[in-house]
């Protein structure tokens, strides 16, 4: 197991290397002078020269790359062209809201969706099954901003149970954190509930036809134990895959939700950076997103080996 | 014996009807069968596929798929208690405590993600109030009773770590740990090798003797019946054809169907040898080896020798059998010869041309000289392609026009005993036996010199099996084709092969004329294989024990 982990972490290094190279070349291979791109339309010649120097653009490409990677490894992701703040600091400020929302969403989605999927499969073909599948179609088809605005209208404006928007760090106390995060979490979890419930149902239906489920019933144990102990554990691998990739998507792609609820997360940071052509921030975000995917995939694979003793690498 | 015969039946099924769906007009899968099983008695329920024997057992256990199959009349009584009207809760209580079941596929019947000890433990936790210590002791004790080695280690093992035989022992331990009155065994040895089968059969008998269990044993294999049954019930299409004590049914079957069924069982006594052939050799394998390498990141990879220096020759118009248990390498050899997989070393000469190491492109013209028929006719034909197109595809690939190829397909279908107009139908419209005939027609479409039959009759019922074997024999006589016949079934080998090669662990153990090897084996392994063949003492087709037959002709 440990050997496998070490091997997998080493295997991630070339992946990240390729991503880094791509990010590096992104700026250098765009037509025109990178310094001019970075400086924007109204730059003075002095400013251009300063940027050229700071990027080492007068050096050969390979030297530039090595210097850049070296800086990366020391946590230096460059400086934002707009705010002049170090990029690492900007991201650091934005990470907590995004991760909080992603975690809360995925937890809520799993808690709701897995039982729904199990029940739908167990009552396969009945009205319960059709009801759950109907809900899931609804979850897929309603856009997240619609759900978001409805939730705000009902719970924040009409009922006044929670604030309309914003984000409070968990360090400010659980109450304020919770009342601000509950609506975006609900809005965002809709589609994930639909996805995970569907996946769980399909995986369960596959497994329920297996011989060992019949064996379990022949032992005279109750249906709950048959479902949970024998069926669900065997159905878990595809479900975990969906949960994992869903989580990775959530961290990097919650732009709409962050806009609707006015949350200062990394999704909005990315969008703002793209609109302002803030290249250092864009580069950092690409690197960060890739890293998240690599880590999540690693965790998924580790989860496989824990769930299914037959899977050995 | 007389004393036991007087006891009340443990299982009493009378006039049971099971239909498709809840409506009264539904198709009857079981149509009014009545059987009884008493204490210490083994009743063998015999029949071909679709006869309803498994449905009977699942009805008893209350495990029929809900809503699709429904018992509509009759009664099933377990020690006097009616099961058909029992609540789900009551049925759950009875399962494992009063009645237990073991299944055909030990590979899939155990949950792959739970250690086997815990799977047995579940039975005890559901039905007893024993504490963890007492449960563990009882389980280890039961595992010893089913003769598992190193019970402590196996207790904590996952199913995939165990062999097929060991898994079936676990299933038996799980079924018998609470000493149920009735054990239902649904083809429990069908998926096992003969030597393992022999051990499991004697284990079931031993445990039955110790615990006084009544056993309802479901099988399609007459050999197994002869080994284990006290009484036999023959089923066909949901009805009971005949029932009686073992000897009576095997010696004097009263019904035509039973007679035919017994007559279809291939004899273990090889057919009279054909005279030695002087025809040219069409296929040769020389020191053929296949080694699978497992690559490892750190350290050395593992090597698995699937075939080790196998040498064989096959002449025109003859049949060579490769026999062996699972994992013996017989299929690997066949696949190397056909070049579906590439041999690691050694040579294959097909009609005088070396083909073991030529490139796939150069191999193409030679492919048509050797064709293969696979085990499972339900999966080897493309379900979305008509039978005619499947057969014509090969010749078309080699340049025949579509019209000519279809004409040939019609002729071939008639050759294998199917109507010519079957060309426009799809595989699902045919039975297993018919599909295997189609697969044979497809192989013959290219006029091969060699036909490789990889367990080609193993998935078929005996009566159908007999027909397909006859067909192969007839085709060989008419076309002079050479057949390489891979099988695990010594009875089949005895009836179709001129020569046999016995394989074990990738090596050839013994080879020679079938009549010689299968009657006077020289090697211990061949002897063990023959000895383990179920029902070897019975000459089913002649309704007498083999010994009597020898006496009669002498």
**Can you give the three-state secondary structure of B177-206, one letter per residue?**
CCCCCEEEEECCCCCCCHHHHHHHHHHHHH
Taking only the tens place, the pLDDT of each residue in A1-13 is: 677 788 888 888 8
- A59 CB near a chain B CB, below 8 Å? no
Q: Which residues contact A246 (CB under 8 A, 6 or more apart)?
A: A106, A109, A192, A195, A196
- Structural contact between residues B413 and B406, judged by C-beta atoms closer than 8 angstroms: no
Distances (CA, A) of B245 to A237, B14, B42, B45, B79: 51, 19, 10, 12, 22
Taking only the tens place, the pLDDT of each residue in B490-507 is: 999 999 999 999 999 889
Look at residue B78 in the predicted model and tell me its pLDDT: 94
> Hey, of A210, A212, A229, which one would you mutate to test binding to chain B, going by the most B CBs within 10 A of its CB?
A212
The secondary structure of residue B285, as a DSSP letter, is E
Taking only the tens place, the pLDDT of each residue in A89-121 is: 888 888 888 888 899 999 999 999 999 999 999
Look at residue A75 in the predicted model and tell me its pLDDT: 81
The H or E element spanning position B303 is strand B302-315
Give how far the C-alpha of residue A36 lies from the chain's centroid of Cα atoms, to the nearest Å. Answer: 33
Candidate ranges B134-138, B381-385, B429-433; pick with highest mean pLDDT: B134-138
- Structural contact between residues B245 and B229, judged by C-beta atoms closer than 8 angstroms: no
Look at residue B5 in the predicted model and tell me its pLDDT: 47
Farthest CA pair distance, chain A: 83
- Residue extents of the structural domains in chain B: 36-62+87-264, 284-369+452-459+481-522
Q: Give the A window 193-222 contacts with B, CB below 8 Å.
A: 210-212, 214-222
What residues in A contact B113, CB-CB < 8 Å? 233-234, 307-310
Taking only the tens place, the pLDDT of each residue in B337-351 is: 998 888 888 889 888
End-to-end CA distance of chain B: 35
- Write down the pTM of the prediction: 0.83
The answer to whether residue B91 scores a pLDDT higher than 50 is: yes
Provide the angle, in degrees to the nearest 10, between the axes of the packed helices B387-397 and B402-415: 120
Please state, for a pLDDT cut of 70, what percent of chain B lies above it.
96
Residue ranges in chain A whose pLDDT is less than 50: none
Taking only the tens place, the pLDDT of each residue in B212-230 is: 999 999 998 899 999 999 9
The answer to whether residue B553 scores a pLDDT higher than 50 is: no
d(CA B111, CA A207): 10
- Among B97, B105, B158, select the one facing A220 at the smallest CB separation: B97
Look at residue A239 in the predicted model and tell me its pLDDT: 93
B21–chain A nearest CA distance, Å:
15
Look at residue A257 in the predicted model and tell me its pLDDT: 81
Q: What is the mean pLDDT of residues B307-322?
A: 91
Name the β-bridge partners of B503: B508
Please state, for a pLDDT cut of 90, what percent of chain B lies above it.
51
Taking only the tens place, the pLDDT of each residue in B115-166 is: 999 999 999 999 999 999 999 999 999 999 999 999 999 999 999 889 888 9
CATH superfamily to which B36-62+87-264 belongs:
P-loop containing nucleotide triphosphate hydrolases (3.40.50.300)
What residues in A contact B297, CB-CB < 8 Å? 3, 7
Strand order across the B499-504 sheet? B370-373, B450-454, B482-487, B319-323, B499-504, B507-513
Burial track A55-78 (b if 16+ CB lie within 10 A, e otherwise): bebeeeeeebbeebeeebeeeebb
d(CA A165, CA A184): 9
Q: For chain A, what's the residue count?
A: 313
Look at residue B275 in the predicted model and tell me its pLDDT: 81
Domains of chain A: 2-73 (no CATH), 92-307 (1.10.3720.10)
User: CB–CB of A309 and B108 under 8 A?
Assistant: no
Residue tagged 């999540």 (tokens): A296
Radius of gyration, alpha carbons of chain B: 26
Assigned architecture for domain B284-369+452-459+481-522:
3-Layer(aba) Sandwich (3.40)
Look at residue B154 in the predicted model and tell me its pLDDT: 93
The answer to whether residue B383 scores a pLDDT higher than 50 is: yes
Look at residue B554 in the predicted model and tell me its pLDDT: 37
The answer to whether residue B297 scores a pLDDT higher than 60 is: no
- Structural contact between residues B214 and B185, judged by C-beta atoms closer than 8 angstroms: no
What residues in B contact A225, CB-CB < 8 Å? 122, 126
Look at residue B6 in the predicted model and tell me its pLDDT: 52
Look at residue B4 in the predicted model and tell me its pLDDT: 47
Token readout for B519 is 């009657």
- Among B112, B123, B158, select the one facing A219 at the smallest CB separation: B123
ipTM score assigned to the predicted complex: 0.79
Q: Which residues contact B309 (CB under 8 A, 6 or more apart)?
A: B287, B288, B289, B346, B507
Distances (CA, A) of B145 to B141, B154, B177, B211, B554: 6, 14, 10, 11, 44
- B158 CB near a chain A CB, below 8 Å? yes
- A272 CB near a chain B CB, below 8 Å? no
The answer to whether residue B2 scores a pLDDT higher than 60 is: no
Taking only the tens place, the pLDDT of each residue in B236-251 is: 999 999 999 999 999 9
pLDDT confidence band for B551 (50 / 70 / 90) = low
Look at residue B184 in the predicted model and tell me its pLDDT: 95
Q: Give the B window 448-507 contacts with A, CB below 8 Å.
A: none
Look at residue B325 in the predicted model and tell me its pLDDT: 87
Q: Give the B window 53-112 contacts with A, CB below 8 Å.
A: 61, 63, 91-97, 100-101, 103, 105, 108-112
d(CA B439, CA B432): 10
Look at residue B119 in the predicted model and tell me its pLDDT: 95
Distances (CA, A) of B402 to B50, B393, B427, B434: 38, 9, 20, 24
Q: For chain B, what's the residue count?
A: 554
Burial track B367-381 (b if 16+ CB lie within 10 A, e otherwise): bbbbbbbbbebeebb
Look at residue B1 in the predicted model and tell me its pLDDT: 42
pLDDT confidence band for B7 (50 / 70 / 90) = low
């Amino acid at each position: 197991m440990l050997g496998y982990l070490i091997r997998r972490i080493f295997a991630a290094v070339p992946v990240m290397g390729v991503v880094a190279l791509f990010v590096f070349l992104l700026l250098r291979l765009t037509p025109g002078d990178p310094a001019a791109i970075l400086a924007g339309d109204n730059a003075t010649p002095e400013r251009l020269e300063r940027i050229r120097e700071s990027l080492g653009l007068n050096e050969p490409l390979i030297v530039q790359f090595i210097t850049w990677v070296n800086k990366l490894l020391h946590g230096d992701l460059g400086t934002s062209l707009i705010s002049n703040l170090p990029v690492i600091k900007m991201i650091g400020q934005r990470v907590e809201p995004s991760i909080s929302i992603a975690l809360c969403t995925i937890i809520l989605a799993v808690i709701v969706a897995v039982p729904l999927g199990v029940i739908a499969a167990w009552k396969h073909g009945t009205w319960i099954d059709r009801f759950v599948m109907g809900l899931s179609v609804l979850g897929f088809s309603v856009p997240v901003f619609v759900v978001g605005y409805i939730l705000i209208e009902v719970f924040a404006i009409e009922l006044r149970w929670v604030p309309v928007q914003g984000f409070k760090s968990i360090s400010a106390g659980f109450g304020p954190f919770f009342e601000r995060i509950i609506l975006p979490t609900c809005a965002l979890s809709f589609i994930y509930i639909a996805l995970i419930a569907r996946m769980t149902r399909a995986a369960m239906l596959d497994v329920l036809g297996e011989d060992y489920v019949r064996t379990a019933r022949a032992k005279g144990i109750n249906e709950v134990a048959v479902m949970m102990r024998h069926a669900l554990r065997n159905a878990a691998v595809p479900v975990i895959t969906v949960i994992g990739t869903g989580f990775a998507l959530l961290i990097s792609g919650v732009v709409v939700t962050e806009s609707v609820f006015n949350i200062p997360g990394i999704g909005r940071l990315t969008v703002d950076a793209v609109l302002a052509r803030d290249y250092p921030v864009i580069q950092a975000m690409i690197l960060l997103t890739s890293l998240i995917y690599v880590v999540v995939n690693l965790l998924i694979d580790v989860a496989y080996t824990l769930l299914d003793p037959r899977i050995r690498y | 014996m007389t004393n036991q015969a007087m006891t009340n039946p443990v299982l009493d099924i009378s006039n049971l009807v099971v239909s498709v769906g809840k409506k009264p007009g539904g198709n009857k899968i079981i149509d009014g069968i009545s059987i009884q099983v008493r204490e210490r008695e083994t009743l063998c329920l015999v029949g071909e596929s679709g006869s309803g024997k498994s449905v009977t057992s699942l009805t008893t256990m209350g495990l029929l798929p809900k809503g699709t199959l429904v018992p509509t009349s009759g009664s099933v009584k377990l020690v006097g208690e009616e099961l058909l009207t029992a609540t789900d809760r009551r049925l759950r209580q009875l399962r494992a405590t009063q009645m237990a079941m073991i299944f055909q596929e030990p590979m899939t019947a155990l949950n792959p993600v739970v250690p086997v000890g815990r799977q047995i433990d579940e039975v005890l936790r559901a039905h007893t109030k024993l504490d963890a210590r007492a449960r563990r002791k009882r389980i280890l004790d039961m595992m010893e009773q089913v003769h598992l080695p190193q019970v402590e280690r196996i207790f904590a093992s996952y199913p995939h770590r165990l062999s097929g035989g060991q898994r079936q022992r676990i299933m038996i331990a799980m079924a018998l740990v609470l000493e149920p009155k009735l054990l239902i065994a649904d083809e429990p040895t069908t998926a096992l090798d003969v030597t393992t089968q022999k051990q499991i059969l004697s284990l079931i008998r031993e445990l039955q003797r110790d615990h006084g269990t009544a056993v309802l044993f479901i099988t399609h294999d007459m050999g197994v019946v002869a080994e284990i049954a006290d009484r036999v019930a023959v089923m066909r299409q949901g009805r009971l054809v005949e029932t009686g004590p073992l000897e009576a049914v095997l010696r004097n079957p009263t019904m035509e169907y039973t007679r035919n069924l017994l007559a279809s069982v291939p004899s273990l006594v090889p057919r009279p040898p054909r005279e030695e052939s002087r025809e040219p050799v069409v296929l040769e394998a020389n020191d053929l080896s296949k080694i699978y390498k497992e690559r490892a990141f750190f350290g050395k990879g593992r090597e698995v020798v699937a075939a080790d220096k196998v040498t064989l020759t096959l002449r025109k118009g003859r049949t060579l059998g490769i026999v062996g248990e699972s994992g013996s390498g017989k299929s690997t050899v066949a696949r190397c010869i056909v070049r579906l997989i590439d041999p690691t070393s050694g040579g294959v000469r097909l009609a005088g041309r070396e083909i073991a190491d030529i490139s796939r492109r150069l191999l193409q013209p030679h492919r048509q000289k050797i064709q293969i028929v696979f085990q499972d006719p339900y999966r080897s034909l493309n379900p979305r392609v008509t039978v005619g197109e499947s057969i014509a595809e090969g010749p078309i690939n080699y340049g025949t026009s579509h019209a000519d190829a279809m004409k040939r397909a019609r002729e071939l279908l008639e050759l294998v005993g199917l109507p010519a107009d079957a060309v426009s139908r799809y595989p699902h419209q045919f039975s297993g036996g018919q599909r295997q005939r189609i697969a044979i027609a497809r192989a013959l479409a290219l006029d091969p010199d060699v036909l490789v039959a990889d367990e080609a009759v193993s998935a078929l019922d005996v009566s159908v099996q007999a027909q397909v074997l006859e067909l192969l024999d007839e085709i060989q006589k008419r076309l002079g084709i050479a057949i390489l016949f891979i099988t695990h079934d010594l009875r089949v080998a005895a009836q179709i092969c001129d020569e046999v090669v016995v394989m074990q662990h990738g090596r050839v153990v013994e080879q020679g004329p079938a009549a010689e090897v299968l009657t006077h084996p020289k090697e211990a392994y061949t002897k063990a294989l023959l000895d383990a063949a179920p029902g070897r003492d019975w000459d089913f087709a002649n309704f007498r024990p083999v010994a009597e037959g020898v006496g009669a002709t002498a």
